């Protein structure tokens, strides 16, 4: 006969025995913590101790049975010196013996399936008793991650932000906040998925239209009790700007025509300066002597002026005569 069958028979016998009554049952009282909380992947302790009456001394435990509601067989059975248990379950104290009144159950690695109601039944040489206790399982959500579609966005881009967090239990919530801590959760859509491990995977999408995009968005994951567990922040890229605050793309469209216009103006100025110089040189050549090859010819008025208005020389007067 295997442990499950033996445990079931023993558990039924123990319950019937206690229910039928025992003259010394008032001398034994099993006290258990009503509610227990276990962290996923860690040890969980279901605390139960046996309290004896004043008239009871040196009581010895004959039978201890731990069973989870809904399971077929017991998780742990001690019967007259022999302990049998399923993997992952044991007495809380490794050196436990039949005179140890601490009959607490230790779960080695807590999983979601361990959530439920447990019953501890005890038989001693001084009386019997039983008590039930419950276990709630919690798991902390991982740090959220945020992805954007498209990958690079600016305030003038239509985009979608997707926030994800997994590994939590019970079902939590993802909420969105902008740079001013304004709640945008109502504009998002959240989905939950139960994984094979019994933990939840949360996903939330926030769609943003161009012109309504802030510089920063924060995704916060809350547990089932409403407590904040962790968060992630996504920063929107700023549009490239010139020193005057004009976008570089617009600046390039403005600068290119200006360069062309500037070049044309420069060319016109150079041509104008060249024309004026040529015109000046032409006027100078037009002031050459008007009297032919004649020796002793008088200079014109300009020559006289250039000579500092000196009197005409003798040759000049003679020629005029």
Would you state the pLDDT for residue 321? 44
The answer to whether residues 153 and 111 belong to one domain is no
The answer to whether residues 130 and 151 belong to one domain is no
The answer to whether residues 245 and 231 belong to one domain is no
Q: Which pTM value belongs to this model?
A: 0.65
CATH number of the domain that residue 97 is part of? 2.60.40.10
* Residue 281 maps to a domain: no
DSSP alpha helices (H): ranges in 286-310? 301-306
The answer to whether residues 124 and 151 belong to one domain is no
For residue 252, give its domain range: 241-276
Would you state the pLDDT for residue 122? 96
Burial 266-289 (b: 16+ CB within 10 A, else e): eeeeeeeeeeeeeeeeeeeeeeee
The answer to whether residues 253 and 151 belong to one domain is no
The answer to whether residues 103 and 159 belong to one domain is no
Q: Confirm if 249 and 167 have CB atoms less than 8 A apart.
A: no
* Residue 309 maps to a domain: no
* Residue 66 maps to a domain: yes
Tens-place pLDDT, residues 47-57: 999 998 887 77
The answer to whether residues 107 and 17 belong to one domain is yes
Would you state the pLDDT for residue 282? 62
The answer to whether residues 251 and 132 belong to one domain is no
Characterize the bridge pairing of strands 35-39 and 61-68: unpaired
Would you state the pLDDT for residue 186? 95
- The total number of structural domains in the chain stands at 3
Would you state the pLDDT for residue 304? 43
* Residue 318 maps to a domain: no
Which residue numbers in the chain have pLDDT < 70?
A: 1-26, 239-260, 262, 278-321
The answer to whether residues 17 and 102 belong to one domain is yes
* Residue 52 maps to a domain: yes
* Residue 308 maps to a domain: no
The answer to whether residues 25 and 84 belong to one domain is yes
The answer to whether residues 123 and 184 belong to one domain is no
Within 13 Å of residue 49, how many CA atoms lie on the same side as its CB? 7
The answer to whether residues 132 and 157 belong to one domain is no
Would you state the pLDDT for residue 43? 97
* Residue 216 maps to a domain: yes
């Amino acid at each position: 006969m295997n442990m499950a069958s033996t445990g079931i028979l023993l558990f039924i016998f123990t319950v019937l025995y206690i229910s039928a009554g025992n003259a010394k049952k008032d001398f034994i009282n099993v006290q258990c913590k009503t509610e227990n909380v276990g962290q996923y992947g860690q040890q969980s302790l279901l605390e139960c101790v046996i309290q004896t009456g004043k008239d009871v001394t040196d009581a010895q435990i004959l039978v201890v049975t731990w069973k989870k509601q809904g399971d077929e067989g017991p998780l742990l059975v001690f019967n007259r010196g022999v302990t049998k248990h399923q993997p992952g379950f044991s007495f809380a104290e490794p050196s436990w013996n039949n005179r140890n009144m601490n009959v607490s159950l230790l779960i080695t690695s807590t999983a979601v399936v361990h959530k439920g109601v447990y019953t501890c039944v005890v038989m001693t040489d001084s009386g019997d008793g039983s008590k039930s206790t419950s276990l709630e399982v919690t798991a902390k959500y991982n740090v959220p991650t945020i992805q954007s579609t498209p990958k690079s966005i600016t305030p003038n881009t239509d985009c979608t932000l997707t926030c994800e967090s997994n590994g939590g239990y019970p079902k939590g919530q993802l909420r969105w906040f902008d740079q001013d801590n304004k709640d945008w959760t109502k504009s998002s859509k959240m989905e939950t998925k139960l994984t094979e491990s019994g933990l939840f995977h949360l996903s939330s999408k926030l769609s943003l239209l161009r012109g309504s995009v802030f510089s920063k968005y924060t995704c916060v994951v809350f547990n089932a009790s409403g407590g904040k567990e962790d968060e992630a922040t996504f920063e929107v890229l700023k549009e490239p700007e010139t020193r005057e605050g004009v976008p570089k793309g617009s600046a390039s469209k403005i600068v290119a025509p200006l360069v062309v216009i500037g070049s044309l103006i420069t060319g016109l100025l150079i041509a104008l300066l060249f024309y004026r110089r040529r015109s000046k040189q032409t006027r100078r050549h037009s002031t050459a002597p008007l009297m032919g090859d004649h020796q002793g010819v008088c200079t014109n008025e300009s020559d006289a002026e250039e000579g500092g208005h000196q009197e005409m020389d003798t040759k000049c007067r003679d020629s005029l005569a």
